[in-house]
Amino acid sequence: MRLVKIFKTIESELWTIENEINSWIKESGVHVINITGNIAPQTGSSVGQGFSASDILLIVTYEPSESADS
């Protein structure tokens, strides 16, 4: 059975989500089917200090490992 896991972070911390996803895959032993993502750009602040960090959403479609089923 295929399942999904959702990961969320912000653009300025992109490296942390990469580590989180890689660790989860290694620890759980899942078989990854697909990874898709979306970035939600933020608008500039009203004070003119630039842009806020964009939200990043990654969805991992996977199948559980054989050992997780038993």
Mean pLDDT is lowest, of 7-11, 28-32, 63-67, for: 63-67
pTM: predicted TM-score of the whole model, two decimal places: 0.78
Predicted confidence at residue 70, as pLDDT, reads: 39
Q: Residues 12, 18, 19, 23: what is their CA dihedral angle, to the nearest 10 degrees?
A: 150
Predicted confidence at residue 47, as pLDDT, reads: 55
* Residue 68's pLDDT band (cuts 50, 70, 90): low
CA distance 22 to 5: 13
As a 3-state breakdown, the chain gives helix, strand, coil percent values, each rounded to 5, of 30, 40, 25
Predicted confidence at residue 51, as pLDDT, reads: 64
Place of tokens 């970035």: 39
Q: What percent of the chain has pLDDT over 90?
A: 61
CA distance 55 to 41: 7
